[in-house]
Amino acid sequence: MSFAYALTFFCDALLYYGVIGCLGLLGACPENLFLAPVILLCACWLSGRLTGRGQGWLRWLPMTMAVPALIVVSNWPGRIATLPAVVYLPLYVYNNRRAPDYDYAADRFRHSLIAMGVALFLAALFRAASWKRGLPYLFLYFTLNMTLLRLLRHDDRVARSRRFRVINLAGVTLVCVAGFALSQPAVIAALRALWNWFLENVVLNLLALVAMAIQYVLFGLAWVFSRVFGMDGLMDAGMPALNSPDANQALLPRTAAEVRVLPAWVQYALKGIGIALVIVLGFVILRALSRRIGRTEIQSGTDRRESLDAEAPREPRLRLRRRDAQDGVRHWYRKALSLIRARGGRVAATMNTLQIQQENADAVDYAAMDALREIYLPVRYGEREAGRENVVQAKAAYERLKKGGG
């Protein structure tokens, strides 16, 4: 899951570049600015690969790639724009040892639409000369976020299958082809002609029907008023007069002498305090955004993974487990989850098997849990029918978990 771990960071970085790009803050940046987040993506992926290897300091080695990420950008405006992403990377690695679960990632994506909508609204309002530079980042953010959600929704065994990879690669390719097509003037002209036809022949006719319906409703109300109250018509009420044209200047200074100018040292002190507050506020925001907390208290209604919550299916009786090898394998896996929780580990309904194994490496035997997963996953996802030997192997792996420790 190191790819999902790095892809989560990369999506955040793309959203950041897309938002500031739509606000016109990337106008002075060079064309090779996109190389900086790609280098940081590689650093985050290496850190995810080195996490949990026994030496905690190993995951900090890829942080040195932040230096070439700043050097590859050829001017200072680009380096200043890249600096928040460089600061965000070690905060993300420090606060997260694994990728977030699906439910939290989906909620975070829905909340990011608010920031994206505000950025696009401001871009349409101010129309900076370089606002279009942020659109490719937003486009790539949408595409890769959908891929990330697919990865987090399935278990790692399914995510590593060839069919799953081909489907996701085809989806990303089609979206990129659509984005390239939308950048061509001929395609834009054809879509504009299609939209104008739809507007003139469909939308305007619907609006005319709605206006006619409203007109008949108002006519009916006027007829009712005339019959009930004896009114022949409604009187038009004039709008009250607003303030005079000179009223909006009543509070403004009339002469230059009325304007108080602060001393120079006070102005510099206020500017310094303002810059310091912006830096501190930016660091606090990046630190808060880097913490990825899973929805451990909420169980997804469509998630059919093994669960220890009250909503989990009732444990089958011993006789049924002996008749059905699949229920037998799942029984020993649920017992392993109970053992992990009894030893103080963390087991959530939104976590897949690999996330449970990595999260609780200190509570149970890592190799025994990996052996139990090798037996459980094919049975869980229907890759093969379970036999009695699989039940025996699952029980043996559970006994190893019970005897051993982290």
Q: CA-CA distances (angstroms) from residue 18 to 112, 123, 135? A: 12, 11, 6
Q: What Cα–Cα distance (Å) separates residue 255 from each residue in 150, 258, 259, 260, 317?
A: 64, 6, 7, 11, 91
Q: What is the residue whose two structure tokens read 């310091």?
A: 276
Asked if residue 102 lies in contact with residue 153, where contact means CB atoms within 8 angstroms, the answer is yes
**pLDDT in the model for residue 98:** 79
Q: How far apart are CA 382 and CA 196, in angstroms?
A: 51
In the prediction, which pLDDT does 262 show?
66
pLDDT of residue 84: 93
**Helix pair 102-126, 2-22: axis angle to 10 deg:** 20
Distance (Å, rounded) from C-alpha 25 to C-alpha 132? 11
User: Is the Cα dihedral 353, 357, 363, 367 positive or negative?
Assistant: positive
Half-sphere exposure of 140 (CA within 13 A, CB side): 20
Average pLDDT along the chain, 406 residues, taken 10 residues at a time: 85 92 89 92 89 69 90 91 93 85 84 85 81 86 86 72 79 77 80 86 87 86 75 47 48 54 76 83 81 47 46 47 72 87 80 80 81 83 72 88 72
Q: Packing angle between helix 264-290 and helix 76-95, nearest 10 degrees?
A: 40
- CA-closest candidate to residue 91, choices 113, 60, 56: 60
Q: Cα separation of 148 and 143, whole Å?
A: 9
Can you tell me the distance from the alpha carbon of 40 to that of 7, in angstroms, rounded to the nearest whole number? 11
